[in-house]
Amino acid sequence: MALPILGLLRYVWSAVKIYVLGFIALLRQIFQKHEVPELHLHTGKIAVVTGGTCGIGFHVSLGLVAKNVHVVMAGHDIQKGKEAITKIREIYPNAKVDYLHLDLASFTSIQNFVENIKARCSKIHILVNNAAIMLAPYKETEDDFESHFQVNYLGHLYLTQSLLGMLRASGTEEFYTRIINVSSIVHNIGSLDLQNFGKRYLSSILKIHEAPSTNKMCTHWLEYSPHAAYANSKLDIVLASWHLSEQLRREASPVTVNAVHPGVVNSSLYKHVHPAIKWLMDLLAKYTYKTPSEGADSILYLALSPSVERETGGYYDNCRKLKTCQLAYSDSVIEQMYILSTDMIQARVN
């Protein structure tokens, strides 16, 4: 009996932490002036935006197009891609905007996307890793990883590593190539346990898969917290962003890497929130959350503003650089996490 109770307590505690931190972030957002960055035209630049067809990602794509950037929107829904292009061209008839299929839950899809983008573009100046899922029920990807881990973090890491050659070659002394990784304030309650970093995400969680069919869903629920999975994936993003930025800085590569919290934004990400609390969140969203357009502003700031030229390894919120819980981890621990992540990728794609 003790084990189910402990599992239930862990589940509830993870949920409480994420909602309390989210409410604190919302209060700060309400009393804080929203910063709208002043941006100039960037004709000739090419950007890739994952999840660029809807929500915050769509408004990032729209904002980039408004500054004469050629945008390639990446997403897993072809119909949404067509609709997004139509909407953008209704506003900017001469917009340079394309859509390419990308499913971050599949390394094969990522490989195909990279091949397609390399065939279409000779350079990439801006990479916005924006796509995400939040609080989704337990699901494994075709590569046998927990879905938050791969879609939010590992898939983006593989995409970035696969495009790194192009990104390096596209940077100049006047405009460093920019990689923007969309994280969240909830990374502060994420946890990193290197001993269990791999196995906690893989499909070989024996207690789930060896459970009798009649008890499988119960055991599954007690072993898995979507709240913890989401927060952990956002922590992984921040730590990997810092490590890659340091690696590129040592190499003197003209590439910057920064993470960003877009704010508490009214978007479809909240669709998996439990109905018992979703009604309250929907009410708050109507009056207090940022719009997706406002949520895009900090991302656009990092993508285009001259104020952050050559600034790298930072975490931003409302167009301002803030401290993160990255400081709680040693450089060696973060490096080990990054190496383990790369090893996981290579084990699947080789």
118 three-class SS: helix
Phi, psi of 118 (to 5 degrees): -70, -30
Q: How far apart are CA 282 and CA 275, in angstroms?
A: 10
In this structure, the strands spanning 315-317 and 320-322 are: antiparallel
CA-to-CA dists, residue 302 to 17, 152, 187, 190, 272, angstroms: 29, 19, 19, 24, 29
CA dihedral 302, 305, 308, 310 (to 10 degrees): 100
Best CA proximity match to 65, nearest among 36, 98, 101: 98
How many separate helices (H) and strands (E) can be counted in the chain?
12, 8
Among 153, 158, 230, 289, the one annotated catalytic = 230
Q: Judge whether 158 counts as a catalytic residue.
A: no
Between helix 331-349 and helix 107-120 the angle, nearest 10°, is: 90
Give the domain ranges of the chain: 2-349
Q: Residue 34 gets which letter from DSSP?
A: P
Q: Which token pair is 102?
A: 């990308």
Tens digit of each residue's pLDDT, the chain (350 residues)? 455 677 678 888 899 999 999 999 999 999 999 999 999 999 999 999 999 999 999 999 999 999 999 999 999 999 999 999 999 999 999 999 999 999 999 999 999 999 999 999 999 999 999 999 999 999 999 999 999 999 999 999 999 999 999 999 999 999 999 999 999 999 999 999 887 776 555 543 333 334 333 344 334 545 789 999 999 999 999 999 999 999 999 999 999 999 999 999 999 888 888 888 888 888 888 899 999 999 999 999 999 999 999 999 999 999 999 998 887 899 999 999 999 999 999 999 98
Q: Which residue has the tokens 């309390």?
A: 20
Contact of 128 with 61, CB cutoff 8 Å? no
Please give the CATH superfamily to which domain 2-349 belongs. Answer: NAD(P)-binding Rossmann-like Domain (3.40.50.720)
